[in-house]
A and B are shown apart, each in its own frame.
Chain A
Amino acid sequence: MRFYEYEAKDLFRRHGLPLGKSQTIDRPEEARSAFAALGGGPVVLKSQVLSGGRMKAGAVRFADDAAAAEAAATAIFPIRVNGQECRSILVEEKTKVAKEYFVAITWDGRAKRPVCVFSDMGGIDIEEVALTHPDHVSKTHFSTIVPLMPHVAKQAVAATGVTGSDLNKLAPIVFELMKIFLAYDLTLAEINPLAKLADGRFVVLDGHIDMEAEARGQHKKLLTELGIGDDETRQARPPTAFELAGARVNAADHRGVAGNVVEFDGNLGLVIGAGGGSLTLFDAVRKHGGKPANYCEIGGNPSMSKAKELTKLILSKPGVEKIAVMMNVVSNTRVDIVARGVIKGCLEAGKDPAETIAIFRIPGAWEEEGFKILKKYGVDFCDRSVSMHDAAGRAVAKLRR
């Protein structure tokens, strides 16, 4: 769940990170008083949206006097950035920047640990810096078990060649950001740019915070204090009727997961799952030229009726011609129960399972029993000797016929 910049900065302020003076405004006419409150010097006005690309869209502007600030705010409010409406405008004092740095803490799934990415070339695309100037980017992993020590942050900064008083000033900021990342179950805590001002001070100019959606309940107090309501999903777009129906299927039965769907406009419905299996299978379908009608996640041994209701929901979606039922090798989901669910879903939707299920590829627990059911209904199925990639290819090929 993404935070707006002003919320991220509010969190940073609570932890003592250095920030410039700022004020949030909800109407253009408030820009004048904000300008005065910030000291009457040059200001920057930034649209608060949950998306990048603000500068390019004209949603970040500068002003040297009160009238210009109001004019800038008037221009910014109606601008949609990547389809997102401006929630408010953050008015900040403009600072004289001598040098920009980048620091982000995120989760490294491969290393199964958080990683601190630091660069002394901030303000620009970090991926590009990593490609063109790899010696200016450091990656420092740290533990979620062993207590975090300040020297880890210092190492991260020093690894890019920063020394002296800059190193001593930057390291505590990076250390605090690491602590924030761990304390609030974040998936991203980023400061870019982290600016060194002409007078030698360091200031956070922009920040991104992403919180693990499942951790919302645990951090309810913070979210309430920041004004983030329970009903704010913070997704890129509001859920569709199909997605809401999927959520209802999932919520109706506590057994397993089946119903977390994302809607697309293709003709191949997907009943897929198993950890990263959903992503792998979705990509495989697309790689073969298939057009998924949906993304979904099933797992954790859903009941027959849950798999059935999900199947019926997907089959009810206009344009869906067939479904592909695929998972990685499963140990905690019963193959036969899912087989029963998808077949019964087809039957209750008035469709022939043999014609409707393009492929069933779920190997694992109780597969012999599952395969007996599939055979009886004439459904094309395969075991683990067929890769997920090839199974997806078989499903896509059937739609081409």
Chain B
Amino acid sequence: MPGTFIDVRVDASVARDPEIAKKLEEICPVSIFEATPGGVRIVESNLDECVLCDLCLPAAPEGKIQIVKLYE
């Protein structure tokens, strides 16, 4: 489920990659990503904490992560 203001989408083609999952978990300052054995998990309760820093974008191939502002 998306947050009230923000949704973060990880493309299915990279969502199961453990390396990307690890990078995402490390890089996000507000813990929106969790690296699990099955790949990356979005921590829904933290979605609205997203500070729009875009640090997660280069952690995966271009266009595979989307930060969506639901108020736009």
- In the complex, A305→B51 CA distance in Å? 12
Contact A303 B52 (CB under 8 A): no
B49 in complex: contacting residue of A304, A347, A372, CB < 8 Å: A304
- In the complex, A305→B43 CA distance in Å? 14
Using A340-B4, A340-B5, A347-B4 as known contacts, say yes or no to A372 and B48 having CB atoms under 8 A apart.
Answer: no
Chain B CB within 8 A of A19 CB: no
Contact B71 A372 (CB under 8 A): yes
Using A340-B4, A344-B4, A347-B4 as known contacts, say yes or no to A372 and B51 having CB atoms under 8 A apart.
Answer: no
Identify which of residues 277-334 in chain A touch chain B, using a CB-to-CB cut-off of 8 Å.
303-305, 334
Contact B49 A303 (CB under 8 A): yes
Contact B5 A373 (CB under 8 A): yes
- In the complex, A73→B49 CA distance in Å? 60
Using A340-B4, A340-B5, A344-B4 as known contacts, say yes or no to A376 and B71 having CB atoms under 8 A apart.
Answer: yes
Give the chain A neighbours of B49 by CB distance below 8 A. Answer: 303-305
Min CB–CB distance A219 → chain B (angstroms): 35
Q: Which residue of B lies closest to A343 (CB)?
A: B4
In the complex, how many residues of chain B place their beta carbon closer than 8 angstroms to a beta carbon of chain A?
10
Chain B CB within 8 A of A212 CB: no
Min CB–CB distance A149 → chain B (angstroms): 49
Identify which of residues 16-31 in chain B touch chain A, using a CB-to-CB cut-off of 8 Å.
30
Chain A CB within 8 A of B72 CB: yes
Contact A340 B72 (CB under 8 A): no
Min CB–CB distance A332 → chain B (angstroms): 13
- In the complex, A340→B30 CA distance in Å? 15
Contact B4 A369 (CB under 8 A): no
Min CB–CB distance A54 → chain B (angstroms): 51
Min CB–CB distance B45 → chain A (angstroms): 9
- In the complex, A303→B4 CA distance in Å? 15
Contact B48 A340 (CB under 8 A): yes
Give the chain B neighbours of A343 by CB distance below 8 A. Answer: 4
Q: Which residue of B lies closest to A303 (CB)?
A: B49
B48 in complex: contacting residue of A304, A334, A369, A376, CB < 8 Å: A304
Chain B CB within 8 A of A63 CB: no
State the main secondary structure of chain A at its contact with B.
Answer: helix
Chain B CB within 8 A of A337 CB: yes
Give the chain B neighbours of A372 by CB distance below 8 A. Answer: 69, 71-72
Give the chain A neighbours of B69 by CB distance below 8 A. Answer: 369, 372
Give the chain B neighbours of A303 by CB distance below 8 A. Answer: 30, 49
Contact A334 B51 (CB under 8 A): yes
Min CB–CB distance A233 → chain B (angstroms): 32
- In the complex, A305→B48 CA distance in Å? 8
Min CB–CB distance A273 → chain B (angstroms): 19
- In the complex, A347→B70 CA distance in Å? 16
Contact B71 A373 (CB under 8 A): yes
Name, among A304, A336, A344, A373, the residue most crowded by chain B CB atoms within 10 Å (CB to CB).
Answer: A304
Listed in ascending order, the chain A residues whose CB lies under 8 Å from chain B are 303-305, 334, 336-337, 340, 343-344, 347, 369, 372-373, 376
Listed in ascending order, the chain B residues whose CB lies under 8 Å from chain A are 4-5, 30, 48-49, 51-52, 69, 71-72
* Subset of 25 A-B contacts with CB under 8 Å: A303-B30, A303-B49, A304-B48, A304-B49, A305-B48, A305-B49, A334-B51, A336-B52, A337-B51, A340-B4, A340-B5, A340-B48, A343-B4, A344-B4, A344-B5, A344-B48, A347-B4, A369-B52, A369-B69, A372-B69, A372-B71, A372-B72, A373-B5, A373-B71, A376-B71
Extra contacts besides A334-B51, A343-B4, A376-B71 (11): CB < 8 Å: A304-B48, A305-B49, A336-B52, A337-B51, A340-B5, A340-B48, A344-B5, A344-B48, A372-B69, A372-B71, A373-B71
